Amino acid sequence: MITSRGWLRAAIALAGLSCLVAPAAPASAAAPQVPVLRRALPEPPPAGVARGELGDLNVEAPHAMTGYSRAKFPHWARQYGTCDTREVVLQRDGQNVVQDDQCRAVQGTWYSEYDGKTLTAASQVDIDHMVPLAAGWRAGADQWDTAKRKAFANDLVNSQLIAVSAASNRSKGDQTPDLWKPPLHSYWCTYSRAWIDVKHVWELNVTQAEKSALGEMLDTCPDS
């Protein structure tokens, strides 16, 4: 039985994103492909709403990592044409991004919200899962089927995917907010709102330590 509105919304986007994109004019193989998808990073709900969502989350001890593999969360999925989820987020989150005829970002700049770094090459950029795949597994995704895990791993509808510096993404790893927070304190408000909303949409659990850390991060929001 499907109960997650996030799964439904993300699966629809994954299956039919091309319907949201204006057709691109034919281009020669040598010409750069002009990006056709222009969407803002999904904005998480305001602090007051996020605090209510946090209160709704089920508090439970982490599930075992037995059986976990990133391959059980297929990514990056094809979204339209030759563009996969990574390339879509690179285009969405960057400035002056130019893609080649295979949808690869060959030019652009990206600002990493986690640590304040400006990146000038796509190779310096990682697409971070706000709620990491392994963290999702420990929070209940171990009980999902592959189709739902794929939708979660490629979720462009909710605040789950963001382009950040490779260094910050790898520092974060699969840690929850009680163990890792963005180096930029000014981003804690947005980070906590996004993390909470993703967990709420996908009906994932939190630990007590995680919940406490998220509440403290919400306290940094101006409207908290």
pLDDT at residue number 34: 40
Asked if residue 14 belongs to a domain, the reply is: no
pLDDT score of 224 more than 70: no
Question: CA 101, CA 78: separation in Å to the nearest integer?
Answer: 15
Asked if residue 201 belongs to a domain, the reply is: yes
pTM of the model: 0.85
Res. 40 pLDDT band, cuts 50 70 90: low
Own/partner contacts of 49-55, CB < 8 Å, gap of 24 or more, are 50/192, 50/193, 50/196, 50/197, 50/218, 51/215, 51/218, 51/224, 53/196, 53/197, 53/199, 53/200, 54/196, 54/200, 54/206, 54/211, 54/214, 54/215, 54/218
Asked if residue 167 belongs to a domain, the reply is: yes
Asked if residue 98 belongs to a domain, the reply is: yes
Of residues 114 and 35, more confidence is placed in: 114
Res. 168 pLDDT band, cuts 50 70 90: very high
pLDDT at residue number 223: 76
The count of domains in the chain is 1
Instruction: Look up the domain containing 92 and give its range.
Output: 43-218
Asked if residue 131 belongs to a domain, the reply is: yes
Number of DSSP helices (H) and strands (E) in the chain, helices first: 8, 7
Q: What is the average per-residue pLDDT within 182-188?
A: 97
Asked if residue 166 belongs to a domain, the reply is: yes
